[in-house]
Structure 1
Amino acid sequence: MNAEDMGTDLQEIFLTEEQIRARIQEMAAEIDRDYAGKDLLLVGVLRGAIMVMADLSRALKNPLHMDWMAVSSYGSGTKSSGVVRILKDLDTDISGRHVLIVEDIIDSGLTLSWLKENLSSRGPASVEIATFLRKPEAVRVDIDVKYVGFDIANEFVVGYGLDYAEKYRNLPFVGTLAPHVYA
């Protein structure tokens, strides 16, 4: 899917495919440097992190392992219940491993803060975070993020794994939707 396929649904492209590719390569170089000689486990957070996890893992030169988690902090609808649930846990024992959580976007940071604390309690050598996007204006908890692709404004964005009603994840860019899409 590309911009032309969206018709009038696309309002604006924030990050092009080229910008994304270049930044993922830069992040991979930083991660390779920091984790050289270490037993690295990438933990992708489903579903949004699929694209960044795939591209980042292919860009990394050092050996690594991958696993996935799915967590939810929503009850019914769009209001957070305040309770985080693990929908899919790791298949890998992380004791003594260097864990890098790979996230698509950080909004409030509440769920990610809980996830980092949960994984830290399992005896890893370290737990760090890499996120493709971060909304500094929306962050509600102090959470240390080691690798940030892009800081963006507090707007709802889609593409490159990010969705609206399970659509638009497969866009190769990040953009905003026209108001009529939400109506």
Structure 2
Amino acid sequence: MDAGDLGRDLDRVLISEEQLREKTKELAKAVDADYAGKELLLVGVLKGAIMVMADLARALHTPAEMDWMAISSYGSGTKSSGVVRILKDLDTDLEGRHVLVVEDIVDSGLTLSWLLGNLKSRGPASVEVCAMLRKPAAQRIELDVRYVGFDIPNEFVVGYGLDYAEKYRNLPFVGTLAPHVYSS
């Protein structure tokens, strides 16, 4: 799927496929440096982090295990509901592990803050966060996100794993939708 497939639904491309690819290499290089000689567990947050997790894992030179969690705080709209539910828990015991949470986007930070508290209660050696996107203007809670790809404006974005009503995740770029898509 590309920008032309969206027709009038696409407002603009915010971050191109090439920019995402280059940033992923940069993030992987930093993660490799920080976790050299350590056993790393990547924890992806479904469904949005699928693209980031896959690309980051392939770009790493550090051996890493992967596991997935599904948590929900969004409905089919563009705003967080504020209620966090675990839809799928980890299969891996975190005791003594170096955990890197891989996220597509840090928005308000409320859901991620809850997740970090949950994971830290499981006895890991460390817990850090890698997010491809962060919206500083939308953050409602102070979070230490160790690895950040791009800081973006407080706009609703889709693509590269991010969706609107379960659509647009498979776009190879990050973009904004035309208002008519979600205003009706």
What is the TM-score normalised by the length of structure 2?
Answer: 0.95
Which residue of 2 is the match for residue 35 of structure 1? 35
- Kindly report which structure 2 residues correspond to 1:59-98, keeping only aligned pairs within 5 A, or say none: 59-74=59-74, 80=80, 82-98=82-98
Q: Does 1:162 align with 2:162?
A: yes
SS at match of 2:136: coil
Which residue of 2 is the match for residue 128 of structure 1? 128
> After TM superposition, which residue ranges in structure 1, 4 or more long, deviate above 3 angstroms?
74-83
- Kindly report which structure 2 residues correspond to 1:1-183, keeping only aligned pairs within 5 A, or say none: 1-74=1-74, 80=80, 82-182=82-182, 183=184
Distance (Å, rounded) in 1 between the aligned partners of 2:115 and 2:144: 13
**8 A Cα contact 2:159 2:172, kept in partner:** yes
Deviation of residue 73 (structure 1)? 2.6
Post-superposition CA distance 1:79-115 (Å, at most 9, x none): 6554321110000001100000000001100010010
SS at match of 1:13: strand
Distance (Å, rounded) in 2 between the aligned partners of 1:78 and 1:151: 19
Distance (Å, rounded) in 2 between the aligned partners of 1:26 and 1:138: 25
Distance (Å, rounded) in 1 between the aligned partners of 2:35 and 2:73: 31
Compute the RMSD of aligned alpha carbons: 1.5
SS at match of 1:61: coil
What is the TM-score normalised by the length of structure 1?
Answer: 0.96
Describe the shift of the 1:130–1:76 C-alpha distance in structure 2 as closer, same or farther (beyond 3 A): closer
User: Percent same amino acid at aligned positions?
Assistant: 74
Distance (Å, rounded) in 2 between the aligned partners of 1:22 and 1:123: 34
Consecutive unaligned residues of structure 2, counting only runs of 5 or more, are none
Deviation of residue 77 (structure 1)? 6.7
Post-superposition CA distance 1:25-67 (Å, at most 9, x none): 0000000000000010000000000000000000001111000
Q: Which moved more, 1:154-163 or 1:173-182?
A: 173-182
Amino acid at match of 1:48: G
Distance (Å, rounded) in 1 between the aligned partners of 2:50 and 2:5: 21
Deviation of residue 74 (structure 1)? 4.8
Q: How many residues align?
A: 183
Distance (Å, rounded) in 1 between the aligned partners of 2:78 and 2:61: 39
